[in-house]
Structure 1
Amino acid sequence: MSQPPPYSIDPRSPLTQYPASSLEGPPQEAVPNPLRRLVARLLDGILMVAGWAAIGLLAAIVQKVGPDAIPYQATIAIVAILGAIAVLVYEPVTTARYGCTLGKHAMGLRVTRIRDGRSLTMSASMGRWAVHIVLGFVPFGGLLNPLWCLWDAPYRQCLHDKAVGSAVIKAGFMPGQLR
């Protein structure tokens, strides 16, 4: 009977851990190429735009076939509010619940805590997203944040990762089975 590997990162389990030999962070082999993170972010952006478009289309249909009592400005406000809620909830909730967004999942990535490899808590995930949003309002912060992983060592963290002690790793990472 063979023994299970000494460790693994299972994207479905919040209880996975790094091996005792790497308690300070993920093994280097688990750290993905920054291009994968970029593509994941672009996929999530496309998903967000599609979501806003769907909400807008639904609002336009309601405006056309609904009662005339609904003012156009109210429809726009509802679309803006629903879209903002979707943007503010999508990434933190999916990261805390599943360890990744749909874009990261498509690119084979997941977000973990550096110290032990476990999934982020909801508060850490919200903090990570809040830093990402706030840096978007700081001059050059929105550009510097995602570019930071290009020169960061050893875990290629962006600034929002550093703020909460997270790292993006290859999903399903298991030594000897790297892609």
Structure 2
Amino acid sequence: MLNFAGKSVAVAVSAAFTVFMPLGAEAAAIGPHAALCDNGGSAVLVQVEGLKSRTGKLRVQLYTNNSRTFLEKGEWLERVDVPVPSSGGANVCVPVPKPGSYAISVRHDVNGNGKSDRKDGGGFSGNPDVSLGDLISKKKPSMSKAEFSVGNETRPIRVVLNYVQGLSFEPLKRNR
């Protein structure tokens, strides 16, 4: 092993990878199908970002790439409900039935009451813009902006949550 100033190069390289990994990538998969993602199986690893709080539950739903059934009640292929982790990344593993095109929706039920209310947040694969007017009129995001493909391996998908803030529905602004 090579040494540099008394430290092994392997330690330095390992530290560099830790510093440059994307936010949330270092966290293990969560949910009932976590082992599938941990082993690289045919699944989606939904990396949920922008949580308003570390309370409540996350609901992640997988849909086919059919705009008629996207977000319709009971039309999801797979649904995973997990408590919001108290720290670290919120990387939810969702299995897919076969390789193909899909879309994901995520809801952060902040108070864990099982009902959608003004304090809850949400987001979609592809992170399409959704306005407060879209929410009120129940207008769905475009399927072309939300869809993605999955093969026989785990596909990471980043979803940034949006929350109602005044007269808008957008990611939280952090001044920290």
TM-score by length of 2: 0.25
- Select the structure of larger CA radius of gyration: 1
TM-score by length of 1: 0.25
Task: Tell me which protein shows more helix as a share of its residues.
Answer: 1
Task: Tell me which protein shows more strand as a share of its residues.
Answer: 2
Greater relative contact order: 1 or 2 (C-alpha under 8 angstroms, separation 6 or more)? 1
